[in-house]
């Protein structure tokens, strides 16, 4: 096994350093993209690149918009309760 392969495998044995900060919320973006892609791969009757990408992007956008709306609603509720 080459040194490069061993190095790549070794990166999977120690966790990355990720702080608890607002930027760590960005980790939801790749996850939302994966959900949109797999969901559309199972739901579309035929897979054509252009249509598939369009549908997946629309679903990804919908998920993000819904999360933002939910976050704003919860933030407003928290402000109303605590003030």
- Residues within the interface to another protein (CB under 8 A): 11-20, 24, 27, 30-31, 34-35, 37-39, 41-42, 47, 52
CB 24 to another protein: min, Å: 6
Query: Alpha-carbon distance 16 to 53, whole Å?
Result: 31
CB 30 to another protein: min, Å: 7
CB 70 to another protein: min, Å: 17
**Can you list the pairs that 28-32 forms with residues at least 24 positions away whose Cβ atoms lie under 8 Å?**
28/67, 29/64, 32/60, 32/63, 32/64, 32/67
Q: Which is nearer to another protein, 2 or 42 (CB)?
A: 42
Tokens for 13, please give them: 């044995």
């Amino acid at each position: 096994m080459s040194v490069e392969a061993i190095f790549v495998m070794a990166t999977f044995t120690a966790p990355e350093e990720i702080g608890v900060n607002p930027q760590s919320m960005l980790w939801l973006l790749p996850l939302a993209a994966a959900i949109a892609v797999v969901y559309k791969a199972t739901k579309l009757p035929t897979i054509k690149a252009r249509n598939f990408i369009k549908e997946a992007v629309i679903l990804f956008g919908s998920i993000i918009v819904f999360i933002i709306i939910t976050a704003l609603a919860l933030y407003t509720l928290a402000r109303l309760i605590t003030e």
